[in-house]
């Protein structure tokens, strides 16, 4: 296997991709290198920016330098890291065709020593009729099949692209069928325009559809994704590789990249960055510099911002806090927030990728945090594994104590003393946001013993907590249900919801819950 996983969070992972020129840690961003015009020398990119992988275009190289015997792409670029080459598919998208056959461009990529190479797929593009989209998907699949005998003996890793654009059924078909072929890496085509138009929710659907239909163990490349703002979310969806020329294209338009979006240099009064370009410079000194120098420095800043964000993403994976970063980055643009909401609908899939135990507290900020894997996992396990304990015919719901673990809080121990005579028949559970029900026996387990939630709860979190509690009560079918209220933020709403299907609901609202008398009062109700 050329790809080995080291750590994971959500569908994101830290991996090692082995190529014939060395290993690359993923997720990785590869700057697009124009072989004819290098704003930044690739060698410098590796030494000063940490770019261990770059991508260039084999179609352009063949056109310009194809006559040179023994041409080697590493020598041409003067770069000793890993080089991926694209096949000219992008030129098909832009110019409507290329003067090369698939066999020629595959042989050429082998000949120049590419480490990762792409077959000549047909990009779907945007705003094209469905019949055209179908053609790009079927023709790409046909070429992927036809390429197999040509790449069999190759030392390079080969990429099998997925097409289909916004037509999710076609993306699914494309991903499923190419996933059955022996490719090393997959790539999702045509998202550039989606990103340029800020259609991030569409991007979420495209990526998730591709990801869920591809073999999970193979790396996924997101073609043309180079804005640091989208890295956290894209990695959370399982993208491992990214490439873009945005760092230099934006610089030509005098645009300054940040994780919170892009700013026109002329609108900047301060430089919100401490990269080598911005450190010791002011926005004014940058603005008044000669144009060529300014654009080169802007490209350098943009590349620093891009590479730094990838490190932030990787550290978040290690900490098991990638979702927190996704939430933070989603504040960069309303369409990113919309994408976060869209991604939340895939919470079941995100949960499957995550570790069960992260060893640190889980933070809940607002309702966006409800999509965290810990919440999804608890809800699932509660219904599947922790039904009504044998012999316990009464469900007692008490509010979450102010300290964790709930079951060792002194006030709770006093209440429990009052229940002692009939504890054998009472299933004691804490009603706690955002989980809903926390059975006493699970209160010391992770993450129920280690989490923080921002109060007061927002409406969605209150409703979610009530809904999860109701699900548990319905699924467990106790003879009696007792709700001890404490004026908690969803207490009355919970009573109303339980009352609607439990006419015999018993409610107790003592002034101070945390004493023995409360337990005794519960017994007197039964």
CB of 88 to Zn ion, least distance (A): 33
* Interaction of residue 171 with Zn ion, rule CB under 5 A: no
Query: b or e along 442-463 (b: 16 or more beta carbons within 10 Å of the residue's beta carbon)?
Result: bbeebbbbbbebeeebbeebbe
In whole angstroms, give the CA distance from residue 472 to residue 325: 31
397 in helix, strand or coil? strand
Check: CB of residue 204 under 8 Å from CB of residue 342: yes
Taking only Cα atoms into account, the Rg of the chain, rounded to an integer number of angstroms, comes to 28
Q: Please name the residues in contact with 88: beta carbons below 8 A apart, sequence gap of 6 or more.
A: 57, 58, 59, 60, 98, 100, 105, 120
CB of 236 to Zn ion, least distance (A): 25
In 91-231, the DSSP E strands lie at 116-118, 157-162, 185-188, 220-222
> Which of residues 131 and 269 has its CB atom nearest to Zn ion in the complex?
269
- With contacts defined by CB under 5 A, name the span among 207-215, 278-286, 414-422, 479-487 that binds Zn ion: 278-286
CB of 282 to Zn ion, least distance (A): 12
CB of 45 to Zn ion, least distance (A): 15
> Which of residues 277 and 375 has its CB atom nearest to Zn ion in the complex?
277
Which residues between 217 and 246 bind Zn ion (CB under 5 A)? none
> Which of residues 2 and 308 has its CB atom nearest to Zn ion in the complex?
308
* Interaction of residue 278 with Zn ion, rule CB under 5 A: yes
Nearest CA-CA partner of 509 in 499, 500, 525: 525
CB of 273 to Zn ion, least distance (A): 3
Six token digits for residue 165 = 């654009």
CB of 278 to Zn ion, least distance (A): 3
> Which of residues 247 and 323 has its CB atom nearest to Zn ion in the complex?
247
* Interaction of residue 275 with Zn ion, rule CB under 5 A: yes
In whole angstroms, give the CA distance from residue 261 to residue 386: 45
Binding mask 63-92 for Zn ion (x = CB under 5 A): ------------------------------
CB of 301 to Zn ion, least distance (A): 4
Q: Please name the residues in contact with 101: beta carbons below 8 A apart, sequence gap of 6 or more.
A: 120
> Which of residues 258 and 469 has its CB atom nearest to Zn ion in the complex?
258
Check: CB of residue 171 under 8 Å from CB of residue 164: yes
Which residues between 128 and 147 bind Zn ion (CB under 5 A)? none
9 has catalytic annotation: no
* Interaction of residue 273 with Zn ion, rule CB under 5 A: yes
Nearest CA-CA partner of 82 in 259, 219, 181: 219
Which residue shows structure tokens 């996933």? 179
> Which of residues 297 and 343 has its CB atom nearest to Zn ion in the complex?
297
Nearest CA-CA partner of 15 in 178, 214, 216, 227: 216
CB of 20 to Zn ion, least distance (A): 34
Which residues between 367 and 386 bind Zn ion (CB under 5 A)? none
Which residues between 329 and 368 bind Zn ion (CB under 5 A)? none
> Which of residues 275 and 497 has its CB atom nearest to Zn ion in the complex?
275
In whole angstroms, give the CA distance from residue 166 to residue 202: 7
* Interaction of residue 283 with Zn ion, rule CB under 5 A: no
> Which of residues 308 and 521 has its CB atom nearest to Zn ion in the complex?
308
Half-sphere exposure of 37 (CA within 13 A, CB side): 4
Query: b or e along 5-18 (b: 16 or more beta carbons within 10 Å of the residue's beta carbon)?
Result: eeebbbbbbbbebb
Could you write out the DSSP letters of every residue in 450-470?
SEEE-SSPPHHHHHHHHHHHH
Pairing of strands 436-439, 426-432: antiparallel
Give me the residues paired with residue 221 across strands.
Answer: 187, 241
* Interaction of residue 301 with Zn ion, rule CB under 5 A: yes
Catalytic residue among 67, 70, 86, 366: 86
What are the residue numbers of the active site? 86
Contacts with Zn ion by CB under 5 A lie at: 273, 275, 277-278, 301
């Amino acid at each position: 296997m050329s790809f080995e996983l080291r750590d994971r969070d959500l569908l994101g992972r830290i991996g090692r991709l082995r190529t014939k020129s060395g290993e690359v840690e993923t997720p990785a961003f590869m700057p697009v290198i124009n072989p004819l015009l290098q704003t930044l020398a690739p060698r410098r990119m590796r030494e000063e920016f940490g770019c261990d992988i770059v991508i260039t275009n084999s179609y352009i190289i063949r056109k310009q330098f194809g006559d040179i015997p023994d041409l080697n792409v590493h020598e041409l670029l003067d770069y000793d890291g890993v080089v991926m080459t694209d096949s000219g598919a992008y030129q098909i998208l832009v110019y409507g065709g290329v003067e090369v056959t698939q066999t020629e461009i595959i042989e050429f990529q082998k000949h120049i020593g590419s480490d990762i190479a792409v077959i000549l797929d047909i990009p779907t593009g945007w705003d094209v009729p469905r019949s055209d989209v179908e053609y790009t998907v079927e023709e790409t699949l046909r070429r992927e099949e036809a390429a197999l005998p040509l790449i069999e003996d190759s030392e390079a890793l080969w990429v099998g692209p997925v097409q289909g654009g916004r037509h999710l059924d076609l993306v699914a078909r494309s991903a499923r069928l190419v996933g059955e072929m022996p490719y090393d890496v997959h790539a999702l085509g045509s998202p550039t325009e989606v990103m340029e138009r800020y259609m991030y929710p569409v991007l979420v659907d495209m990526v998730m559809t591709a990801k869920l239909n591809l073999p999970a163990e193979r790396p996924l490349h997101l073609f043309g994704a180079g804005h640091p703002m989208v890295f956290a979310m894209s990695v959370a969806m399982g993208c491992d590789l990214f490439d873009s020329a945005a760092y230099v294209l934006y610089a030509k338009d005098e645009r300054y990249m940040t994780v919170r979006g892009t700013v026109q240099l002329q609108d900047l009064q301060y430089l919100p960055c401490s990269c080598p370009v911005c450190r010791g410079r002011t926005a004014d000194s940058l603005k008044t510099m000669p144009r060529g120098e300014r654009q080169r420095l802007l490209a350098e800043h943009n590349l620093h911002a891009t590479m730094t964000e990838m490190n932030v993403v990787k550290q978040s994976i290690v900490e098991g806090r990638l979702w927190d970063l996704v939430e933070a980055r989603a504040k960069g643009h309303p369409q990113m927030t919309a994408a976060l909401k869209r991604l939340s609908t895939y919470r079941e899939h995100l949960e499957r990728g995550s570790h069960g135990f992260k060893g640190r507290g889980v933070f809940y900020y607002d309702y966006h945090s409800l999509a965290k894997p810990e919440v999804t996992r608890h809800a699932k396990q509660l219904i599947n594994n922790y039904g009504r304990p044998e012999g316990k015919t009464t469900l007692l719901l008490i509010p979450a104590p102010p300290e964790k673990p709930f079951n060792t809080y002194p006030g709770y121990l006093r209440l429990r003393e009052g229940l002692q005579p009939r504890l054998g028949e009472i299933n004691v559970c804490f009603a706690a946001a955002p989980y809903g029900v926390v059975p006493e026996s699970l209160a010391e387990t992770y993450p129920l013993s280690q989490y923080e939630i921002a109060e007061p709860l927002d409406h969605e979190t209150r409703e979610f907590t009530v809904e999860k509690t109701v699900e548990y009560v319905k699924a467990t079918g106790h003879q009696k249900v007792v709700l001890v209220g404490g004026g908690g933020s969803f207490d009355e709403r919970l009573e109303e919801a339980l009352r609607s299907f439990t006419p015999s609901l018993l409610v107790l609202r003592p002034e101070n819950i945390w004493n023995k008398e409360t337990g005794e009062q519960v017994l007197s109700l039964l």
